[in-house]
């Protein structure tokens, strides 16, 4: 049975008062494009004040994050799926972390139906520590071609309607994901998106 909400929070806790540690919140959700492919979508929110910034020229500093995502099929006859991504921050005039913006990225990876061992590795390129953020999970992609089905549920923090699509939008809806599975008392409305397939 597919899990409808998957919220992963990667936090590397400080090992000393002097260590700055990368913090990344990730949602991963399973979707389908009927008569085409299935895909997993990773929504990554990197906290700007947790990144190390290094000089890129005489007047600016920049941070770099590497993300490695791999899917190992439990069926050994299927090939390994492995993807590497590099995320760069904006350039800044200093390294004062409190002034740095958070970074939001979307990664969509096509994968066939099947059961996989998911492995995610996230590393701050400029970090002097050898440790990286690691996560392992078993996922099951099981959208049957032609059958009515429903996607994972996308929790939404806020949204707006667009005239044109871009890489961060869906169905002409621009939204910021809700990166938590907890709702405090001051939130009275729940906004979410889900896709229903093959209803014809």
Tokens representing residue 182 in the block: 């907890």
Global pTM reads 0.83
pLDDT at 38: 95
Q: Read off the pLDDT of residues 111-140 as tens digits, 9 standing for 90 and up.
A: 999 999 999 999 999 887 667 889 999 999
What are the structural domains, with CATH classification, of the chain? 7-197 (2.60.40.10)
pLDDT, one tens digit per residue, over 3-24 is: 333 334 333 332 222 335 888 9
State the pLDDT at residue 146: 86
SS3 48: helix
Predicted local confidence at residue 171, as pLDDT: 81
Identify the three-state secondary structure at position 181: coil
Identify the residue whose tokens are 């400029």: 126
| Residues 138-148: b if buried by 16+ CB within 10 A, e if exposed | ebebebeeeee
Alpha carbon dihedral 74, 80, 133, 152, in 10-degree steps, equals -60
Give the pLDDT confidence score for residue 149 in this predicted structure. 94
């Amino acid at each position: 049975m597919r899990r409808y909400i998957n919220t992963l929070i990667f936090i590397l806790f400080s090992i000393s008062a002097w260590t700055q540690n990368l913090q990344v919140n990730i949602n991963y959700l399973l979707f389908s494009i009927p008569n085409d492919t299935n895909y997993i979508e990773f929504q990554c929110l990197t906290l700007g004040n947790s990144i190390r910034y290094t000089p890129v020229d005489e007047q600016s500093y920049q941070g770099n994050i590497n993300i490695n995502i791999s899917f190992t099929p439990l069926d050994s006859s299927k090939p390994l799926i492995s993807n590497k991504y590099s995320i760069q921050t904006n350039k800044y005039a200093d390294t004062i972390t409190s002034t740095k913006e958070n970074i939001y990225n979307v990664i969509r990876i096509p994968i066939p139906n099947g059961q996989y061992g998911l492995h995610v590795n996230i590393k701050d390129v400029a970090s002097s520590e050898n440790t990286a953020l690691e996560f392992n999970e078993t996922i099951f992609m099981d959208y049957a071609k032609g059958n009515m089905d429903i996607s994972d549920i996308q929790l939404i923090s806020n949204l707006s309607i667009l005239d044109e699509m871009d890489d961060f939008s869906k169905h002409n809806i621009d939204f910021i994901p809700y990166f938590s599975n907890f709702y405090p008392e001051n939130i009275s409305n729940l906004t979410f998106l889900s896709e229903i397939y093959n209803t014809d």
